[in-house]
Amino acid sequence: MLNLVKKDIRLNRLVLLIFLVAGLVCIPIEIIRKGGTLFFALFIQVILCHVLFITSRQSAQTEKENRLLNTLPLSRWSIVTGKYLFYFLCALGNALWLTLIALFMALMGMPGVISPYMQFMMMMATGIIYFTFMLPVSYCSPQYTGAVALIVYLVVIFIPSKLPRWLGTGEVDFPQIIGSFAHKLGGLLLPLIVVLLILLSLGSLMVSQNAYKKAEF
């Protein structure tokens, strides 16, 4: 299973490298607009998840994954679980990288609207929730994967810019809203996020495994 994860990392190393560099853009954004880094970091996390999903889940439609199962001593369980591990590790790694950038900016006198710890939890949760939703779709109905992924992408791109007009208000301060929400959760943030992510991940994994187990090829 670990070899499957390493395989996906090698195949997507260019994408991962590009987003590592993109994370550094948070520094000039914070200099230009205080508090703008948090929303940009969330945006980067979602787009990374979207790009990784689109590029690596094409195998489900081209049947490369199925040929891998037929030519190597691998079980369907290990293929699905390995895919989940790869995506979750990428979400975790990028969240950690963006949090380290936030820590660096705080040391340079540019503290964020929320603590780096809370930012890390939000980045991690964003990535994992994206994959727990999209992966079952790709295994249950791979023919609709591209359309669903495109809808999710458009929602992430357009809703933040259209929300002020829909609400009939001026500019919405997303960093402030996110910071206020995280502050209200306080000490409950960690257990709530951990329990939610565990339940979502297990449920998503079970759905994907059952779907791939029943697949005929």
Question: Under DSSP, is residue 63 helix (H, G, I), strand (E, B) or coil?
Answer: coil
Q: What is the dihedral of CA 185, 188, 190, 192, to 10 degrees?
A: -100
Average pLDDT, the chain: 77
Question: Would the pLDDT of 206 be above 90?
Answer: yes
Residue whose C-alpha is closest to residue 98's, from 43, 33, 158, 159:
43
- Rounded Cα gap, residues 109 and 52, in angstroms: 33
What confidence tens digit (pLDDT) does each residue in 28-57 have? 877 777 766 777 888 888 888 888 888 876
**Which carries the bigger pLDDT value, residue 116 or residue 201?**
201
- Rounded Cα gap, residues 149 and 47, in angstroms: 11
Q: Could you count the other beta carbons within 10 Å of the beta carbon of residue 64?
A: 11
Residue whose C-alpha is closest to residue 35's, from 155, 191, 176:
176
CA distances 107 to 60, 100, 111, 116, Å, are: 44, 11, 8, 11
Residue whose C-alpha is closest to residue 80's, from 4, 12, 151:
4
Place of tokens 């948090």: 38
- Rounded Cα gap, residues 3 and 73, in angstroms: 12
169: left (phi over 0), alpha (psi -120 to 50) or beta: beta
Instruction: Map out the domains of the chain as residue ranges.
Output: 2-157+174-214
Q: Which of 9-23, 69-83, 150-164 is predicted most confidently?
A: 9-23
- Rounded Cα gap, residues 202 and 80, in angstroms: 12
Please tell me the predicted confidence (pLDDT) of residue 33. 72
pLDDT interval class at 68 (50, 70, 90): low
Please tell me the predicted confidence (pLDDT) of residue 64. 56
Q: Kindly give the interhelix angle for 189-214 and 116-140, rounded to the nearest 10 degrees.
A: 20
- Rounded Cα gap, residues 82 and 2, in angstroms: 7
Q: What is the dihedral of CA 192, 193, 195, 199, to 10 degrees?
A: 130
Averaged pLDDT, 81-88: 91
Lowest average pLDDT, out of 30-34, 71-75, 150-154, goes to: 71-75
